[in-house]
Amino acid sequence: MTTRSYRNKRGGSQEGSPLAPGQQGSTSYGSAGPVPRAPILQSPPPYSATLGYSREGNQEIRPVTCRRNPPPLRPPAMIGRIVGAAAFFILVTQFVAFVFFYDLPAKIGRYAEVTVRMRKEATHLESERAALQEERKHWEKAREDRVPQGAFWEVAQPALDCLSYGKREYWGILRNIPEDWTDLDACMNMPVEIKGLSVRRPDRCLYVKDSPYIHGFWTVDWDQPDCKPWLQDFDDKGCTNKGSGTRRIEAWVVGINEKGGQDWRLLCESMPITWNHITYNTPTHCDARWTGRKVAMWDIPDESC
Where are the domains positioned within the chain?
5-67, 152-225, 229-301
Residue 31 near residue 20 (C-beta atoms within 8 A): no
Per-residue pLDDT reduced to its tens digit, 2-47: 444 444 444 444 444 444 444 444 444 444 455 455 454 444 445 5
Residue 173 near residue 186 (C-beta atoms within 8 A): no
Question: pTM score, two decimals?
Answer: 0.50
In three-state secondary structure terms, 174 is strand
Residue 66 near residue 45 (C-beta atoms within 8 A): yes
Tell me: pLDDT of 290 over 80.
Answer: yes
With a CB cutoff of 8 Å and minimum separation 6, the contacts of 255 are: 228, 229, 230
Which pLDDT score is estimated for 57?
64
Tell me: pLDDT of 257 over 70.
Answer: yes
Of 219 and 139, the one with more pLDDT = 219
Residue 156 near residue 171 (C-beta atoms within 8 A): yes
Beta strands in the chain, from DSSP E residues, in sequence order: 5-7, 13-15, 25-30, 33-39, 48-54, 62-67, 152-153, 157-164, 167-175, 192-194, 197-199, 204-207, 214-220, 230-239, 246-254, 273-275, 278-280, 285-288, 294-301
Helices first, then strands: H and E counts in the chain: 4, 19
Mean pLDDT of all residues in the chain? 79
How many C-alpha atoms does 39 have within 13 Å on its Cβ side?
19
Q: Is 50 left (phi over 0), alpha (psi -120 to 50) or beta?
A: beta
Parallel, antiparallel or unpaired: strands 33-39 and 25-30: antiparallel
